Structure 1
């Protein structure tokens, strides 16, 4: 089953809305000069798709922290109420200073499975959250490594890079969806007028969704790469042994079912995958824990 993060879902919704708006403006007001008597103006189409594609991605990025809090029920620690919360805040502060970023918000969300995530549009205004299950089932060294992994995501600017990649993918999806829409409109629906017909609008929206789904494999490929990089940061800030131990402790069990919302699994430190190659794994946000541990064993922190 594909694990697509809230970022991707929000982004897809924004793209569909922009597709409808784009179609209405083009059809009734002629904005953008995309449609001409001879068909599509590819230069204008490319410019418009680039603008709309990046806007959808940026909207997803800027609301990512707010949506993460709402979907997981994360409670931000404003004033530590116990020793555990104080240790969490102090550890994140220490790690943030080590990589020269602003102090992230630190939060806890209710989930019996050990897990954590980091998100935010700005590396100096991020959110790092851990599950209640992580605090209950991991020792302090392992929790330290998990926090270091999440700080790695923030320091590496993974969310911003993800947004940029998604924006480029959006532009290509919208561009080719409209080319296909125009082709179907003229060849299947036999529209010979200077303006696009219903076949163009319906086909474009359908192709936005289908091509967007397929293109998400590119974004998920990057997501898997960022997990390896974040693991390496965890090894640097904590230690390789702590990071390996933490990953091993993340394995789900029947006694601790994963309660992480599907919409947030791309952001979490753990997301279950099957071993070996399969089409489904092309859409996974995380490498397998076995692959991540093997990569760490071969990694030599400088």
Structure 2
């Protein structure tokens, strides 16, 4: 709750500053109000709706269901591991699902710590030993305990708000430089080619910059999740799990909407490392050896 409050206060403070600047640059009050409302609705609104529906979206995307009643020894053992680690981290035991995939992967999602989901691939369960599986579960548990999902949503919401606010505000100002445009026209009425083209261009530009920030946070949280796992099950087990992923090429068998959530999401042939949601596996392994984030 404190985390949400701090993000909202920060967002309101910066938006207020931008409003003051916008007022002195000639944007009318009704247009500023529109920018604020649209920024919050489309920025924060979209991010939080996505978070609230994250479990349902994840289950639908991978075509799986929550395991409520274990049907075999493997499922019983996994649920025991979840319960034990949940007690260690003082959080409610997450729901568990297993999805069919040859890739070694797992992810955690959910709108809050006490309503989360951990998904494990069949490839992971078939190719890892029990200690390595415990390490992967502990990694995902740490994401949940750290509140990474809500933090990621808040960051994305704040950035989305600024992308919308700045792109439309700047596009409005520049489009009014054209003598043929009516400077008293409201943003509601703005449909000219100059305004629309500028808005699209600026949203792409600011959106790209925003992606750098969200992906930077995403990479940082992976290091802390690895460290959290190492504290729960031991550094050697977490390193062993990452090495197992390293020697089994990542297979793109999971929907793109879920790839940022997965423990194994580093592609060697990526266009730019700044856009990657996960650090390279060898870098994560070195961080564990050096105990950088412990």
TM-score range (shorter-chain normalised) is 0.7 to 0.9
Distance verdict in 2 for CA 1:183–1:294, change over 3 Å:
same
Normalised by the length of structure 2, the TM-score is 0.82
Paired residues, what number? 266
Matched, 1:288 2:288: no
Moved more, 43-52 or 136-145: 43-52
Indicate which of 86, 103, 116 corresponds to 1:126.
116
Deviation at 1:206, TM superposition (A): 4.8
CA offsets 1:26-67 (integer angstroms, 9 cap, x no match): xxxxxxxx99xx534475356325522222221121111111
Matched, 1:103 2:93: yes
- Mapping of residues 193-208 of structure 1, within 5 Å: 193-195=183-185, 196=187, 197-199=190-192, 200-201=195-196, 203-208=198-203
| Residues in 2 aligned to 1:153 and 1:227: alpha-carbon distance in whole angstroms | 8
Task: Give 2:262's aligned residue.
Answer: 268
Contact (CA 8 Å) 1:273, 1:286: kept in 2 or not?
no
Normalised by the length of structure 1, the TM-score is 0.80
Q: Where has structure 1 moved over 4 Å in runs of 4 or more?
A: none
CA offsets 1:235-286 (integer angstroms, 9 cap, x no match): 01111100000011112646x73412222110000012339xx861111000
CA offsets 1:171-210 (integer angstroms, 9 cap, x no match): 1101111122203422358312522421334533453344
Matched, 1:44 2:33: yes
More helix by share: 2
Distance verdict in 2 for CA 1:300–1:178, change over 3 Å:
closer
| Residues in 2 aligned to 1:158 and 1:108: alpha-carbon distance in whole angstroms | 22
Gaps of at least 5 residues in structure 1 are 1-33
Compare relative contact order (CA 8 Å, sep 6+) and give the higher one, 1 or 2: 1
Task: Give 2:70's aligned residue.
Answer: 80
Contact (CA 8 Å) 2:128, 2:241: kept in 1 or not?
yes
Contact (CA 8 Å) 1:227, 1:286: kept in 2 or not?
yes
Task: Give 1:66's aligned residue.
Answer: 56
Aligned partner of residue 166 in structure 2, secondary structure: helix
Deviation at 1:213, TM superposition (A): 3.3
Contact (CA 8 Å) 1:74, 1:129: kept in 2 or not?
no
Aligned partner of residue 108 in structure 2, secondary structure: strand
Deviation at 1:300, TM superposition (A): 7.5
CA offsets 1:108-153 (integer angstroms, 9 cap, x no match): 0111011000000010010001000000100111000000000000
Indicate which of 50, 54, 79 corresponds to 2:44.
54
What CA RMSD, in Å, does the superposition of the two structures yield over aligned residues? 2.6
Aligned partner of residue 162 in structure 2, secondary structure: helix
Indicate which of 282, 299, 302 corresponds to 2:291.
299
